[in-house]
Amino acid sequence: MSIANLRRRLEEKVSGYSVGDVTNTKFVKPQRLLKTLSVLEQKFDDLENSIPLDEKIFRSISKLESSGFEHLTRRDWKNLAWALSKILPGTQEKLLFSDIGKRIIRNFQQSEIDLIGLVYFPLLYSYFALENEDVKNKPAIWLQLRDVLNTNRSGVYRNSKQPKKWMSTLVDYSEILSNSPTKSFVKRFLQDQDSSSLSRELESLQMAPNSWFWDDLIKSSIKSIKDMNEQDYLKVIPRFIGLAEQKALYAADILVALLERYAKTSEREKVHEVLKCLALNQWGNPQYDSSAGWNNVNPDTKRMVIQWFVRADLEAFFKLFSASADVNRFNYWIKFIDKISFSQIFLGPSALQSQQTQHKKFRELNRGRLKELMGSTSSNNAFLLKIENVYIVDFSDTGNACYAYNYLPYKDKNRRILIGELKNKNTVLFVKDGKKIALSHSGDWEARFDKHLENIGISSNQHRAGNRNSGYGRK
């Protein structure tokens, strides 16, 4: 407990006593008796704050409608307070928002502290029992209910001979009845190892699982991502990913916030595999225009994720699956990454059937994206890159040339692709001495590729030598 909260609780309790009240401390406290008393008090509090049956609540409402406020009993008053978050038979809205509910709140606004003390917890329960849809536009009557609770909180606490746990909770967390009820909880919510610790701490308030409070807490936490410093943000990514898995309703909002913030970090070029997988499952492949979910993020953020897929595909192709591939080709193609809008991996039988842990993990994370290469050697794989408006096809096994097309050389809906579909010299874009050709990787092939690519309108913004530090240098 903070010093401020402790001082507040002491002041509110002490103010209810006169200076002459002195506790006699000459006798030993009966600890066992006090413990038994505490248990009995807790049982009494639970019974006192148990929600009455609907038929009793509805009976009190009927009594109010027929006889007015003057003939209500203490039990009727409590029933009316419990009723505010309920939908009455034959109606479509919560009682709080009906004419009867508004009359009840107006009456409580003018009531003495003795009556408010009687109905305070039922009012508090009804306040938190409302859902986000009920209060998202902050209706006036809901704010009036909050004002009744906030105005009378101290008086109820002072008048209580034995403050209840929920009273102490309200004193310790005074902002819970303010315009920013979850602001002070956000940091704890994100940093606590035990995600249920906050729920346990606020347990005495008996908030419903679908309360607007939890919705506000999650949304406030998501909003906080934008203003986090980079170090704090990178630390909380796993917490938000776990939250997205637990709370599917907020998954899209969480994903948007995480990706937008990641795009502004110094690590944006580093593939975040879990985020990439979450994004793929949520919105599909960003490389397809049909994946409309990607309109939720800025174009620059979408480009970042596309580059994640491209980089991951090239790294898998040249390092993970293709032991015999010339890894210098990774350094060559990765320099075009800022111009690549689409990538596709074609795996041969060896790569598709491999039981190596890393192979299985890559296939699982990219389920639905990979295609099978047919009609070639077992070890051969292929990749396709769309650079600007040109489709480049290359292979892992030596002896296979590189091809370029101005169209997608296969039917994208097919999962199995014949190698002949990727090798069509009749329609390639590379030309030498008036003849269409595919480019081999012999000799100083990088310079030759540069020249042919420039001839069809493709050039890199990066100098080739600047890509040697990619991590995939010569072996």
Q: What does the pLDDT look like over 345-376, one tens digit per residue? A: 999 999 999 999 999 999 998 888 899 999 99
Average pLDDT, the chain: 87
Tell me how crowded residue 130 is: count the other CB atoms within 10 A of its CB: 22
C-alpha distances in Å from residue 360, one per residue of 284, 315, 353: 20, 15, 9
Rounded to an integer, what distance in angstroms lies between the CA atom of residue 345 and that of residue 341?
14
pLDDT at 163: 85
Q: Tell whether the model's pLDDT for residue 18 goes beyond 70.
A: no
Q: What is the pLDDT of residues 71-114, one digit of tens each?
A: 999 999 999 999 999 998 888 899 999 999 999 999 999 999 99
With beta carbons less than 8 A apart as the criterion, state whether 357 and 474 touch: no
Amino acid at 137: N
Residue 22 banded pLDDT, cuts 50, 70, 90? very low
pLDDT at 193: 66
pLDDT at 90: 86
Rounded to an integer, what distance in angstroms lies between the CA atom of residue 454 and that of residue 461?
12
Question: Poorest-confidence range of 1-15, 234-248, 435-449?
Answer: 1-15
With beta carbons less than 8 A apart as the criterion, state whether 240 and 254 touch: yes
Q: Tell whether the model's pLDDT for residue 38 goes beyond 60.
A: no
C-alpha neighbours within 13 Å on the C-beta side of residue 284: 9
Calculate ∠ Cα 8-13-16, nearest 5°. Answer: 130
Question: Poorest-confidence range of 31-40, 120-129, 202-211, 357-366?
Answer: 31-40
Q: What dihedral do alpha carbons 283, 287, 289, 291 form, nearest 10°?
A: -10
Q: Tell whether the model's pLDDT for residue 216 goes beyond 80.
A: yes
With beta carbons less than 8 A apart as the criterion, state whether 99 and 108 touch: no
Q: What is the pLDDT of residues 169-197, one digit of tens each?
A: 999 998 999 999 999 899 888 887 666 78
pLDDT at 9: 64
Q: What is the pLDDT of residues 301-354, one digit of tens each?
A: 999 999 999 998 998 998 888 766 667 888 899 999 999 999 999 999 999 999
Q: How far does Cα 167 stand from its chain's mean position?
A: 32
Whole-structure pTM value: 0.76
Percentage of the residues of the chain whose pLDDT score is greater than 70 = 85
pLDDT at 182: 94
Sign of the CA dihedral with 185 first, then 187, 189, and 191 last: negative
Rounded to an integer, what distance in angstroms lies between the CA atom of residue 347 and that of residue 396?
10
Contacts of 131 (CB under 8 A, 6+ apart): 210, 211, 212, 215
C-alpha distances in Å from residue 379, one per residue of 180, 347, 393, 396, 416: 60, 9, 17, 8, 16
Question: Poorest-confidence range of 251-260, 271-280, 384-393?
Answer: 271-280
Please name which of 314, 305, 301, 303 lies closest in space to residue 278, comparing C-alpha atoms: 305
Q: What dihedral do alpha carbons 191, 180, 157, 167 form, nearest 10°?
A: -40
Over residues 233-254, mean pLDDT: 93
Please name which of 370, 377, 394, 385 lies closest in space to residue 445, comparing C-alpha atoms: 394
